[in-house]
Homo-oligomer: A and B are copies of this chain.
């Protein structure tokens, strides 16, 4: 039931992404679109767009109204991965089991492919049924702010600054809440905006999303130690090699796992409050469980 619906949502997202950035002739500058599509259409768990659609569902809104915003967030996520993987940043050769964008197309096209996806994300939120309506505008603002210099990019800057040194737990938490958390909360909050959800309902969804984002990051840090590169589709064991501050390097594996259980519990409590008020959040429960137990 959960898996079937997850697959159903992913299918809609994959078809949407494919259509949202169609191939372009090389004579018209199409190589950069090819490089963008290479990274955008390489699978992945699609957690952010799935969260947006699933939240909309819980709130009783038609999915097609939210799809453009879901695609935009996935494009922003993908652009950030392409730029993060560059030699001057994390210098990663593999992503989702394939060579990274700059390994495949060269650095110059990888920079432009990232730019393309960020720009295209905003073209999409500016040009859909909801963009002329107040709720659509609010959703777009949430996405823009979450991705910007006081959101995800600030987290990336903190990550750069933290390279090769051990930072305080509070600083690690801020870093992750910005770098990963904001773009995991964004789809949930954007869905609330699109649906015009009441403030207290939005607050519960936000509580859910923020704890889920934190759980996701802790799990990522754990998997860097426990998973294989094949399963993860990217190089593992990098964090300790790079002397990176993570939940595992700072607290050890055992405590990281107990923190993961704790924040997952908090996410579920927030969902339970929504369930108690009559919102159907079964799928979001399932997704939380899936993310907690994932091995990739």
Q: How many copies does the complex hold?
A: 2
| A119 and B83 within 8 A (CB) | no
The answer to whether A283 has its CB under 8 Å from any CB of chain B is no
What residues of chain A have their CB less than 8 Å away from a CB belonging to chain B? 21, 24, 26-33, 36, 79, 83, 86, 88-89, 106-109, 111-112, 114-116, 118-120, 122-123, 125-127, 131-132, 134, 137, 140-141, 144-145, 147-150, 153-158, 160-161, 171, 174, 178
Q: Which residues from B are CB-within-8-Å of A29?
A: 149-150, 153-158, 178
- Interface of A: prevailing SS: helix
Q: In the complex the two chains form, is A24's CB within 8 Å of B126's CB?
A: no
A126 to B149, Cβ gap below 8 A?
no
Residues of B within 8 A of A132 (CB): 134, 137
CB neighbours of A109 from chain B (8 A): 157, 160
A31 and B161 form a contact (CB under 8 A):
yes
Nearest CB on B from A88, distance (A): 4
A144 contact set on B, CB distance < 8 A: 119, 122-123, 126-127
Chain B nearest Cβ from A174, distance in angstroms: 8
**What are 30 A-B contacts with C-beta separation under 8 Å?**
A24-B149, A27-B174, A28-B150, A28-B154, A29-B150, A29-B156, A32-B156, A36-B149, A83-B112, A86-B108, A88-B106, A88-B107, A89-B108, A109-B157, A109-B160, A111-B111, A112-B153, A112-B156, A114-B115, A115-B115, A116-B148, A118-B118, A119-B144, A119-B147, A119-B148, A120-B149, A123-B144, A123-B148, A125-B126, A127-B141
